[in-house]
Amino acid sequence: MQATAGYPDDGNELVVGGRHPLLEKETFEQLHRNDIVETRPHTLHFGGFQIHQEHTQVLRVVNISPSSLRVSIIGPSTPWFRITVDKKGLLAPGMSEDVTVSFEPHEWRYYYDTIKIFCGELSENLIVPIHAYPSANDIVLPRIIDFGAIAIGTSRSKVIPLSCKIPIQFEFEIDVVESHSDFSISPLAGVIPADGSTEVVITFTPTRHRTARGELRFQIAQFDFQPMMVTLLGSCSPEAAKLEVLRSEILELEAAEATKKQEALAESINKLQGKKKNPMRVVLPTFKREELERTISGVKVPTTRTDQQATNYILNQTAGKLPLKDLVAFIREQRQAADQRRRLVSDNFQNQSEEAEEEEDKQAAELRFELQYREVDKRDKDKELKSTRATGEEPPAAQEVSDVCAARKARHEKLLQYRIGQDVKRVESVLIHTRVAVPSSFKPALKPEWDECANDTFSVRLQVIERFVRAGSKAGGLRMSELYDGPVPAHVHAIACGNHTHVVKHTCVCSNMR
């Protein structure tokens, strides 16, 4: 098998300059290595080149002898190849010289040349062949071609493309290494056209329920081409036909469902187009305000500062209480609220003032109490240092006491109604840990006690024991009466009758013993 891009015979290459004098006296036949020098690689291949472009490879000459030596390198003799060497003089043991080989072709054909290494009298001379040849670089073959599981009597085909991007055509051939009757390959030989592609069709047609395997070897008529192995796999399952029908039915149902969705969408679009459009509503944009502080677990945390002052501000706070810098404004608000309540009281709006007091939260009441306590404490301390008149307060009148009690009662009634309403709305059990407040004068009807014998279980157990003793005594008396042949003694008669206190002074025969 030979490619149509013919390879020229040896000796038809152009020779650059005159012949080197060493070539006339010496012979160069040894490849790869001798006793002192080794070449890596031993052959240079420029496969798949592009014309009018420079291609380079590196040849390394290594000194494998135990002593330093000088190596003479004779370059290629054709104008298509040239070498570049950075001479180092003596080559130490284990060291190497790198030879850069450049190749610039001008037409699509095969090129050949050699690099010669002169070793003198130390050992045989070496030669490094150089091959340059066009190749079909776009050939990519899969290692395994799996056809999957198909139904018996059906077939499935797969196509392997063979393409070439250079203006040279290559012959190819397919060898069947392991054949199988269920596989058919077409064609087994052919030509890959220049700047074109061809296809190899492999068809799998199962004839029995089994797994088929085949193996092919692809060969292409190009220099230094390594044959490529391709494995063919295919199987035939008894359920493959059913699965194929089921798959086709599912695809048809999905297609019908997609068509229905498209029709419904088109119908809804037509309805929307027929409706009158409402006036356009403009929604104004909302801008997120920068939050200077954020409350986390009752503690205010600055969001814009991370310095030491902000850290101290967080650590000096108490969870659930206002920081010191907000206390002044809070006190001012509380005073204004107190003035408003006094005005409401002066205008005889007692009910409204009570509701206003109920709406205050616990923290406000606590701070207001602390402020009042501080004023009282300051007044008491002033009494220790200077004389002050302490007139005290007038005792509350009966009307004021009755008003306070009525307000408390109304508050408790309102709270009770609220809790009853919440209980009516509840649909599941809830555990509440709130402690119940009761009056100090409250007395429970029954006092709880932790006495295990409060139900008098001990006497009940004694009754059971007494019944057991009576039953045993009766059974024992009957047994003793059977053993006596004569009159029964009084104490035996008493035991048999079940009465320990019954005493009979005369002998008798009891009917119960019979």
Residue 511 is classified by DSSP as G
What pLDDT is attached to residue 24? 64
Residue 202 is classified by DSSP as E
In a domain, 184, yes or no: yes
What pLDDT is attached to residue 484? 66
What pLDDT is attached to residue 485? 56
Residues 165 and 76 in one domain: no
Residues 126 and 217 in one domain: no
In a domain, 429, yes or no: no
Kind and range of the H or E run holding 82:
strand 81-85
Residues 151 and 71 in one domain: no
Q: Which residue has the tokens 């206002």?
A: 322
Residues 29 and 106 in one domain: yes
Of 87, 113, 133, the last residue of a domain is: 133
Give the count of domains, the chain. 4
88 vs 71: CA distance, rounded Å: 10
As beta bridge partners, residue 33 has 38
In a domain, 403, yes or no: no
Answer whether 212's CB lies under 8 Å from 206's CB: yes
Residues 109 and 150 in one domain: no
Give per-residue pLDDT as tens, 391-419. Answer: 777 888 999 999 989 998 998 899 899 88
In a domain, 76, yes or no: yes
pTM comes to 0.39
Residues 220 and 309 in one domain: no
Residues 91 and 148 in one domain: no
Residue 356, CB half-sphere, CA atoms under 13 Å: how many?
16
Residues 49 and 70 in one domain: yes
69 vs 56: CA distance, rounded Å: 27
Structure tokens at 182: 């269920």
Of 226, 241, 256, the last residue of a domain is: 241
Q: What is the CATH number of the domain that holds 194?
A: 2.60.40.10
Domain assignment of residue 493, given as a range = 460-513
CB atoms within 10 A of CB 372: 10
Residues 94 and 168 in one domain: no
Residues 157 and 128 in one domain: no
In a domain, 6, yes or no: no
Q: In a structure prediction context, what are the per-residue pLDDT tens digits for the chain, which is 514 residues long?
A: 443 333 334 433 433 445 666 666 667 777 888 888 898 888 888 877 788 888 899 999 998 888 888 888 888 888 889 999 888 778 888 888 899 999 998 888 888 899 888 887 777 888 899 988 887 666 778 889 898 888 888 888 999 888 887 777 788 888 888 888 889 888 888 888 877 888 899 999 988 888 889 999 988 877 777 888 999 998 888 777 777 788 888 999 999 999 999 999 998 888 877 777 777 788 888 877 777 888 888 788 888 888 888 888 888 887 777 776 777 777 778 778 777 776 776 664 444 444 444 445 566 667 778 878 888 888 888 887 877 777 777 888 999 999 989 998 998 899 899 889 988 888 888 887 877 777 778 888 877 777 766 677 777 788 889 999 999 988 888 888 777 655 556 655 555 555 544 444 334 434 343 3
In a domain, 246, yes or no: no
Residues 174 and 96 in one domain: no
Of 87, 105, 133, the last residue of a domain is: 133
What pLDDT is attached to residue 87? 81
Say if strands 197-204 and 156-163 run parallel, antiparallel, or are unpaired. Answer: antiparallel
What pLDDT is attached to residue 258? 92
Residues 158 and 125 in one domain: no
In a domain, 71, yes or no: yes
Give per-residue pLDDT as tens, 325-383. Answer: 777 777 778 778 777 776 776 664 444 444 444 445 566 667 778 878 888 888 888 88
Kind and range of the H or E run holding 107:
none
In a domain, 260, yes or no: no
